[in-house]
Amino acid sequence: MSGYTRPLSVVIGVNGIGMGHSVRQSVIAQYLRDRGHEVRIITNGTARVEYFRDLGFPAWDGWMPTLLARGDRIHAGDAVRANFWQAPAGVGKHLRLRRVIRDTGVPDVFITDYEPNTPRLAYHFNRPLISVDQQSKYRHLDLPPVGRYARTADEQRLRYFAPHVDRSFICSYVPLEGDDGQVEFIAPVVPDLVRSAPVTTEPLATAYFSRYFDHGPEESVRNLAEVFRNHAPDRALRIYAQTDELGNLRQYTDGKIEVCTFDREAFIADMARSEAVFSNAGFNLISEAFVLGKPVCLIPLPTYDQHWCARVVDEAELGTALPHINRGAVLDFLGRSRELRNNVVRHRDQHLVSDPRERIASYLESLPAASQRTLTRSAR
């Protein structure tokens, strides 16, 4: 622990939608464990709980309320209707989490990543709450609308999840600034698997498209395969898909175009040897592509977060953002891939080489002991 002698007990709350949050927080959790600290996980969804348990962490399932936006806001009536029937079971699940934390030991500190469980536990047990995420920029910065999308719903969701945090570490792959002394901007948390991957540049493009409610990968996969088949026959295209999507997508396999089951290690290895990456505009995937020095062609899903991520990539000339896959734009992107790749490498070397895990761990280790903190607060 680099001279640090008091092991910490840490509980990390992880948003269970998609894998991006889980990957990022598992990297932090393993780093803290390697420094001698005890780490437990609260997430939502059986698959995410098992993901962390497979990594050797005690993990429990929490309740994630449904807070969907209509227009650019979350409306109270919509939230009540969406959660009315699941609220009793959700509250019961949260009360069980309280008992679990009490029985297994109240931690020194809670970390939250865009979820409501650890904030409520931190407030209940009178412990510090630290946020480590990328969404909190929508709370602390007055970012402008992107087309018809605004940050309002993201800010509302953050304030509902965690009305107050003691410190906020905001991950960003582009430089950001703010005047709040409790906010610190850090480079994205990226796994060692990515940072250590051998990088080459071959006539290969790697692609992955997610499903978001009724917005699935079919259209993007079909159109991208058509462009490569008819207009870029000298390049290979490897499209990764989740198992439940393969039945609809395997029909587009043809010659140098391959549709295969998503496997994280294989996907990272293919990104590392690709000339370019095609995907939706998820924060983690973009960050990992940039650390590998790869430009991205982004088709954002219908959220402010994805449209903001795509826009800043396009404006910084680290890739391009498209409303949908079309031949002209894809061929223009491929034609500029060397120029864009050089831009990404320069940007990475200037902004993304630092590993933020040590900064996060050092801050946690600087916190006063729980007993000392409790006495200080009681004196007030």
Cβ-based burial of 173 (10 A; exposed 0-12, middle 13-18, buried ≥19): buried
pLDDT confidence of residue 380: 39
Indicate whether 180 and 279 sit together in one domain.
Answer: no
Are 250 and 127 within one domain? no
Tokens of 262: 């998503």
Q: Are residues 345 and 293 in the same domain?
A: yes
Q: How far apart are CA 241 and CA 203, in angstroms?
A: 21
3/378: higher pLDDT: 3
CATH at residue 39 = 3.40.50.2000
Read off the amino acid at residue 216.
G
> Within this chain, do residues 369 and 270 fall inside the same structural domain, yes or no?
no
Contact 162, 127 (CB under 8 A): no
Residues 45 and 184 grouped into a single domain:
yes
Model confidence at 69: pLDDT above 60? yes
Pair (88, 221) in one structural domain: no
Instruction: Note the pLDDT of residue 378.
Output: 38
Judgement on whether residues 160 and 213 belong to the same structural domain of the protein: no
Query: What tens digit of pLDDT does each residue of 262-285 get?
Result: 999 999 999 999 999 999 999 999
Read off the pLDDT band of 4 (50, 70, 90).
low
- What total number of domains does the chain contain? 2
Q: What is the mean pLDDT of residues 143-163?
A: 95
What band does 74 get if pLDDT is binned at 50, 70 and 90? very high
Mean pLDDT of 217-240: 97
User: Longest Cα pair distance anywhere in the chain, in angstroms?
Assistant: 74
Q: What is the pLDDT confidence band of residue 35, given thresholds at 50, 70 and 90?
A: very high
User: In the block, which residue shows the tokens 């991950």?
Assistant: 171
Burial of 123 per CB tally in 10 Å (0-12, 13-18, 19+): middle
What's residue 107's pLDDT? 98
Domain that holds residue 269: 193-351
Is 1 among the domain residues?
A: no
Q: Are residues 307 and 216 in the same domain?
A: yes
- The lowest-confidence range among 125-134, 164-173, 370-379 is 370-379
Average pLDDT, the chain: 94
The pLDDT assigned to 277 comes to 98
- Across 17-45, b (16+ Cβ under 10 Å) vs e yields bebbbbbbbbbbbbbbeebebbbbbbbbb
| pLDDT > 80? residue 51 | yes
167 & 204 share domain: no
Q: What is the mean pLDDT of residues 324-330?
A: 97
Say how far apart CA 43 and CA 59 lie, in whole Å: 7
